[in-house]
Structure 1
């Protein structure tokens, strides 16, 4: 066990967890705020918990917690938020004046010491327009502050802006509890039988909905125990063909053979594979060739005797 005290720090309300060494700070508890030095300058983050078995540090050693935040630090962070909002509004106005269609100025972020500021933006096209005029707007007010334009993806935009989800939830998943984004593919929708209509599987960010991964593994595992579509099965109502599946419910939809062609639902315990039952039937009807001398007591005729009978 490491002698270091590694804690998890979160800089955004629903953000990624970063690890820091709190060995030099004894009075930190979960819920406290701390000041740390990062690659983006001095930042204020909240302690989310102590890491009992931390992974190896990414660059040889963990960055250290500088100190526990004071009430002055918290007040300063609130004041910076007002400045960030003003800068974001000014940059958006400048982008509009320049006619930069498709460019979204999403947010601005000051470091706690105000030595640097990052402008978060999104642009779908590969060829980003010249951002210098927008940067000049910021430099007029903060000439000595280091300025950085940081490009973010559409899912990050939706997370920061927030709002109602495409499903009708009052607040989007990404703004509520998703700290990291997982890769989402169309096969996840297919595996769950979700409609492939773009309006059904696309989130407010314009990408496939994050929720498509929530139950994907459960569907994949559940489908392994069910017959595939098109498979012939035997049910209590007769033989038929599988036309649909409800994996989580462990229910199979079967089109029953016959004139009426009924569509019926059965639990997986109620059906049997037709091919397996057919193989058993053929085996039971096959002639016995083990005892050609007629001493067979299995009740079957030998292959040669059966041929003579015919």
Structure 2
């Protein structure tokens, strides 16, 4: 084994929050860099992914050729001033992330100034300490102005010269007066960003009913619409309390397997089909799409005489009904068993003589009981006893 490569494989563990791309950091939307150990990966592009508070990410040019690693704090270009963020990805995977982000123009990508200094980090920490108090105070200001909106979070820029206010509103809000009041109170540049309930849950974070951290707070960046049809395709009970997530909206995970269920559902027999046998008519009761089994009942509304069969068997019975044939039973295994156990009907008049009833029954003579024979051992014991007497 070449021990010279151990240092390269293990990564530089003295810098950042993780060793190269291996491991997990304490930021949301973390991207696992599976190309981190590939030689020349970092030099393939000068683009770097930088993450800020919660789910806000940006992409920047490393024009100065800085030796950046995952977890480094860097000062990046902003408008106005500069911002402080954490390097979350370098190398070729950044190109894929930029394509996924659907940036309108590559000219909008700014540059990285430097690795953050002690003074930059101190100013950044002071700005972060003011965020919670600013959010509470701004909520009261919006309430006094009679605006129907909720300020969910506040994020200060790294240099403390700008603040982003994230708000939620069901209707359009005229917050021009609010911006003037906030600028006079906090003496910073104000930027308002509207977010939805799902984005707010992603920024706050939490644990879902599955026991794992929320998807919107870990890896999900773009949100697609979720409808109740996704639950219907998967035969999930339409219970609002179970279908709703932490954001009080339909769970995003309802869309994860809906395509698989839709594809498997095309192979299932129609629900309105009635399967006819020689004894009863069977109606659809329930089905397991992924297992490929269907349960039928003899009653349309109640569970009576339930029979669970495979999809292939149900389609075979439907074909038989179209041809005017009716099987003995829905389950082909039961039908085969009944065929094997079916009694053979014979005509007793033809096979037997009709005068058999006239024959008198002969009484069986009882055999006389024979005396039991003693074995040699018994005779020997009796002879010994007589001799003793």
User: TM (normalized to structure 2)?
Assistant: 0.59
Q: Deviations over 1:214-259 (max 9, x none)?
A: 2212212221232232234589x9973333222233332222589x
Q: Deviations over 1:56-114 (max 9, x none)?
A: 664144433222233443333222111121211111222344454x4211111222122
Q: Deviations over 1:105-158 (max 9, x none)?
A: 1111222122321211112123x254525642442331xx22122222222222
CA distance in 1, matches of 2:276, 2:46: 62
User: Which runs of 5 or more structure 2 residues have no equivalent in the other structure?
Assistant: 1-40, 326-389
Question: Are 1:254 and 2:293 counterparts?
Answer: no
Contact 1:25 1:68 in 2 (8 A): no
Question: Are 1:52 and 2:52 counterparts?
Answer: no
Instruction: Please identify, of 25-34 and 199-208, the stretch whose mean Cα deviation from structure 2 is larger.
Output: 199-208
Question: Are 1:263 and 2:303 counterparts?
Answer: no
Question: Are 1:29 and 2:69 counterparts?
Answer: yes
Larger radius of gyration: 2
Instruction: Please identify, of 55-64 and 208-217, the stretch whose mean Cα deviation from structure 2 is larger.
Output: 55-64
Local SS of the residue matching 2:151: strand
Question: Are 1:141 and 2:190 counterparts?
Answer: no
Local SS of the residue matching 1:249: coil
Equivalent residue for 1:85?
A: 132
CA distance in 2, matches of 1:177, 1:125: 29
Note the 1:1-310 alignment, pairs <5 A: 4-13=45-54, 15=55, 17-38=57-78, 42-52=82-92, 54=95, 58-61=104-107, 62-100=109-147, 102-126=148-172, 128=173, 130=175, 132-133=177-178, 135-142=180-187, 145-163=188-206, 165=208, 167=209, 169=211, 171-232=213-274, 240-256=282-298, 261-268=304-311, 270-278=313-321
CA distance in 2, matches of 1:40, 1:220: 50
CA distance in 2, matches of 1:262, 1:278: 20
CA distance in 1, matches of 2:313, 2:90: 51
Aligned CA distance change for structure 1 residues 33 and 256 (closer, same or farther; 3 Å): farther
Contact 1:33 1:44 in 2 (8 A): yes
Q: Deviations over 1:171-202 (max 9, x none)?
A: 54322442221221221122112233333323
User: Which runs of 5 or more structure 1 residues have no equivalent in the other structure?
Assistant: 283-310
Aligned CA distance change for structure 1 residues 116 and 184 (closer, same or farther; 3 Å): same
Aligned CA distance change for structure 1 residues 148 and 263 (closer, same or farther; 3 Å): same
Local SS of the residue matching 2:92: coil
Local SS of the residue matching 1:30: coil
Local SS of the residue matching 2:297: strand
Instruction: Please identify, of 73-82 and 265-274, the stretch whose mean Cα deviation from structure 2 is larger.
Output: 265-274
Instruction: Please identify, of 28-37 and 267-276, the stretch whose mean Cα deviation from structure 2 is larger.
Output: 267-276
Q: How many pairs are equivalent?
A: 275
CA distance in 2, matches of 1:196, 1:48: 40
Aligned CA distance change for structure 1 residues 137 and 19 (closer, same or farther; 3 Å): closer
Local SS of the residue matching 1:64: strand
Local SS of the residue matching 2:129: helix
User: TM (normalized to structure 1)?
Assistant: 0.72
